[in-house]
Amino acid sequence: MSTNEPALGAAAEPGGAGTPDARQLRMILTAVSVALMAVIASVSGLNVAQTHLAVEFEASQGTVLWIINIYTLALAALLLPLGAIGDRIGRKPMLIAGLVVFGGASILAALAPSAEIMIAARVLSGIGAAMTMPITLAVITSTFPEEERGKAIGVWTGVAGGGGILGMFLSALLVDVASWRWLFMLPIVLTVMAVVLTLRSVPNSREHAGHSFDTVGALTSVVAVAGLIFTLQEGPERGWSAPATLIALAVGLAAAVSFVAWELRRRDASLLDVRLFRERRLLSGSVVLLVVFGVQAGIAVVLFPFLQAVLGWSGLQSTLALMPMAILMMVAAGVAPRLAMRVGARTTMVTGIGLGGVGLILMALFVTVDNGYLSILPGMLAMGFGMGLAMTPSTEAITASLPSERQGVASALNDVTREFGTALGVAMIGALLSAGYRNAIDDKLGGIPDATADTAREGIANAVEVAGSAGSQQAALLDAAQQSFVDGWQQAMWVGAAVTGVTFLYVLFRGPKNEVPAPVHDDKEAAPETVAS
């Protein structure tokens, strides 16, 4: 059972009897959305400053990638245990503490004099984000009444889905008009706003635990998630057969098996009751989120080199080009709860996944170098709207599967699934793109000097960089690289569409049951019912 304690300040007794009124619910939703936006923006924002980081710190590409990836690694690994701790000590104090850690780490990163300090700051940022992110959703699910919860989750998922792209655009703008260090102003300002709003409006809720904290489960979950995320992040760079990659994979899998075995033994006293995955609702919601965020992140891997290396756009222009997709995703996430009330969660999820698959097919069929951005825009819009529709009912399915006193864990599970999907999508679609590019360009390098051709085979960015040394073959090399990139793009899109198609069929037959309000003919004699299908 969970308890709601009065919020601080003027909103100490919302609604007059401890129940938040409509005004405070709006304030609560604003507070957690701003906090979530700060965290999400930091996941992707630093990607636009890779070159600046390398120059500033005289760092190798490997070090730059560590600066970027270590944040996600720390965030993903700590989500489950910190979500559970938030349930026990109180969600409001955990949210405030997480924001303070996150904001302080962002200030340290903005002032970092060396790569080592920057990496340490990013680790601290990840820890603060792991304290914050699951609590933002848990506050919604434990505070909002059932009739308002779906709409609030829709706003949350819209920020979670589109906030990364919006954060990347604002970060690129700050880098373009000021300095790369200024991009940390965005999360710092958002964090300050979130702390103020949280203190004023967010009520506290916590679990009254009748058992000890699952320390073994927490530790094994950290090792499992860290090992598997490290494998997905480093595999493309180090090689899938590199010793570090194989060791991380083995450790991650062993820890994951140990975690499941331990949780089955702990049963009701576990960190996460893995038996709940037998339920269609929890399993299908997790699968859909894994695929949705995998496809979304993977598409970003493909889109940026297309816009920058193929079309020659700047980083700011490229992030701006993604905004229509992000906006539609956020709109669809807000529409999804109302649609689910009419036709059911499963139908809404299937519709969204289907639209996302159609978008991938459109991008595979119509992409051309000559038509550029317009050739992929319809597919981007369809995918953005479809993925937004699928995200909200999937998130609601996950959080509704766990009891109210475990909403921090439920929210953390939702977030871990997102992070796994993101890492998996980047690794898979990035590998497909690279393989398709290399296979296609091999037959197009006739007459190109061997050293130049070898560099061009490494990727489209390398080909563009080395084209100036190809002499009279410059135009031919650029054309070969661009056309080969399109070939790799199409291969990645078709595989993504196939994965989406399989997910579509899975949810169609094994998704959560549709539950919609039954028509009531006499309000005085009949209470609202639900009809399952």
Mean pLDDT for the stretch of residues 207-228: 88
Same domain, 224 and 239: yes
d(CA 141, CA 398): 11
Taking CA atoms, 510 is separated from 504, 506, 513, in Å, by 10, 6, 8
Q: Tens digits of per-residue pLDDT, 23-39? A: 899 999 999 999 999 99
pLDDT at 42 over 90: no
CB 449 within 8 A of CB 468: no
d(CA 294, CA 161): 12
Residue 526 lies in a domain: no
Same domain, 234 and 300: no
Query: Residues 6 or more apart from 330 whose CB is under 8 A from it?
Result: 158, 159, 161, 162, 388
User: Where residue 211 falls among pLDDT bands split at 50, 70, 90?
Assistant: confident
Mean pLDDT for the stretch of residues 129-152: 92
Residue 10 lies in a domain: no
Same domain, 252 and 141: no
Same domain, 147 and 37: yes
pLDDT at 407 over 80: yes
Residue ranges making up the domain that contains 247: 215-270
In terms of Cα–Cα distance, which of 323, 314, 388 is closest to 158?
388
CB 65 within 8 A of CB 394: no
Domain count, the chain: 3
d(CA 230, CA 204): 35
Could you say which of 154, 173, 205 is where a domain stops?
205
Residue 8 lies in a domain: no
Could you say which of 156, 175, 205 is where a domain stops?
205
Q: Which carries the bigger pLDDT value, residue 296 or residue 3?
A: 296
Query: Residues 6 or more apart from 50 whose CB is under 8 A from it?
Result: 64, 68
Q: Which residues of 260-294 are buried (b: 16+ CB within 10 A; e: fewer)?
A: bebbeebeeebbbbbebeeebbbbbbbbbbbbbbb
Output the pLDDT for position 520.
46
Same domain, 189 and 323: no
d(CA 161, CA 208): 32
Residue 308 lies in a domain: yes
Residue 14 lies in a domain: no
Same domain, 239 and 370: no
Same domain, 262 and 281: no
- Of 112-126, 294-308, 447-461, which gets the smallest average pLDDT? 447-461
Q: H or E segment at 204?
A: strand 204-207
Structure-token pair, residue 502:
């399989």
Taking CA atoms, 8 is separated from 3, 12, 85, 406, in Å, by 15, 5, 22, 23
Q: At what angle do helices 372-400 and 280-305 cross, to 10 degrees?
A: 160
Residue 530 lies in a domain: no
CATH code: domain of residue 287: 1.20.1250.20
Confidence (pTM): 0.84
Same domain, 311 and 443: yes
Mean pLDDT for the stretch of residues 145-149: 88
Burial class (CB in 10 A: 0-12, 13-18, 19+), 468: exposed
d(CA 78, CA 75): 6
Could you say which of 224, 254, 270 is where a domain stops?
270
Structure-token pair, residue 183:
């991009």
pLDDT at 391 over 70: yes
Same domain, 466 and 317: yes
Percent of the chain with pLDDT over 70: 92
Highest mean pLDDT among 88-92, 229-233, 362-366, 403-407: 362-366
Sign of CA dihedral 482, 485, 487, 490: negative
Same domain, 172 and 262: no
Same domain, 150 and 51: yes
Residue type (1 letter), 164: G
Residue 524 lies in a domain: no
Taking CA atoms, 502 is separated from 446, 497, 499, in Å, by 40, 9, 5
Q: H or E segment at 5?
A: strand 2-5
Residue 497 lies in a domain: yes
Same domain, 380 and 496: yes
Mean pLDDT for the stretch of residues 240-258: 95
